[in-house]
Amino acid sequence: MTKPVFRFAPSPNGRLHLGHAYSALLNADFAKRFGGRFLLRIEDIDIARCRPEFEAAIYEDLAWLGLVWESPVRRQSEHFSDYRAAFLRLKERGAVYPCFCSRKEITAAIACQETETDRPWPRDPDGTPLYPGTCRNLSDEEAERRIASGEPHAWRLDSAQLQRMLPGPYRYRRFDREGREEIVAADPWRWGDTVVVRKETPTSYHFSVVLDDALQGITHVVRGQDLEAATDLHVLLQTLLGLPTPLYHHHGLVLDQTGDKLAKSRQSTSLAEARAAGLDPQAIRQRLGF
């Protein structure tokens, strides 16, 4: 039997905090208990926000925690051509369409719909209003003309088309700390016409995470509950691209004193600060329940 493969996949856009430490330690703990491998992947597709010093700090913080991972580490920014090739497959299948809208235009179209229907516009599980479909019905000629003229554009999944092509039902297997598995129903349609290729990068989080998990042979994905709903979309992308669906475990989030989830953007205490304040790795492990 092949060994289970786990991965921790941080983005180098800030210092790691206790929530990251928990996720990394849990992955490594699972890998150890299941006799599996533990990989690290640097999710740095957002070249404007990711910085080499944060990547260096990830290695430093994880090593300080006592974690050991396999080399070489996969860095997503080195694989834009893989994402491009996979995207062309989606395009050939007619699963995506180009979208030229700016955020402002999308907001205005939704406000207009809300006024017209006197109803709140539906939102995705992250709370973002679903794309109102403005560019869905552009003619091929117009879309090609606008692309040829250099107009910035993203590529979105055509969810109406996909519901006809691949109606489902969708499901995946989740596992718990004891290794028990159960089947979970997935509803990818609640994400609407998601962006798979952004305007400014040749991929997106959802697209590259699904491709890389498959390329790296990840069998078990362990990540925070904040990404649980995204798994529904990942299962659809795996089906569309003919990729295997790993097993998933979505762990609880480490909260701060006020009950909010830790976030780099809220300047939550970083591991580096905890270290500077005199905490040792053993104390961190204990605090996180290992």
Instruction: Using CB under 6 A, list all residues that contact ligand GLU.
Output: 9-11, 43, 209, 223, 227
Radius of gyration of the chain (CA): 20
Phi, psi of 97 (to 5 degrees): -140, 150
Polymer length of the chain: 290
In the structure encoding, which two tokens stand for residue 18, read together? 């206790």
Cα angle 195, 77, 233 (rounded to 5 degrees) comes to 30
Closer to ligand GLU by Cβ: residue 11 or 268: 11
Closer to ligand GLU by Cβ: residue 97 or 172: 172
Q: 257, 228 in Cβ contact below 8 A?
A: no
Shortest gap between Cβ of 94 and ligand GLU (angstroms)?
A: 27
Q: DSSP class of residue 102?
A: -
Instruction: Count other Cβ atoms within 10 Å, centred on residue 51.
Output: 14
In the structure encoding, which two tokens stand for residue 193, read together? 């016409």
Shortest gap between Cβ of 285 and ligand GLU (angstroms)?
A: 21
Cα 84 from chain centre: 17
Shortest gap between Cβ of 139 and ligand GLU (angstroms)?
A: 36
Closer to ligand GLU by Cβ: residue 50 or 162: 50
Instruction: Count other Cβ atoms within 10 Å, centred on residue 110.
Output: 19
Q: 210, 241 in Cβ contact below 8 A?
A: yes
Beta-sheet pairing, 195-197 with 74-75: unpaired
Q: 212, 76 in Cβ contact below 8 A?
A: yes
Report the C-alpha gap between 148 and 157 in whole angstroms: 21
Shortest gap between Cβ of 25 and ligand GLU (angstroms)?
A: 14
Shortest gap between Cβ of 50 and ligand GLU (angstroms)?
A: 10
Shortest gap between Cβ of 214 and ligand GLU (angstroms)?
A: 13
Shortest gap between Cβ of 59 and ligand GLU (angstroms)?
A: 15
Closer to ligand GLU by Cβ: residue 108 or 227: 227
Closer to ligand GLU by Cβ: residue 73 or 165: 73
Closer to ligand GLU by Cβ: residue 40 or 90: 40
Closer to ligand GLU by Cβ: residue 19 or 98: 19
Listed residue (219, 165, 223, 199) closest to 43, CA to CA? 223
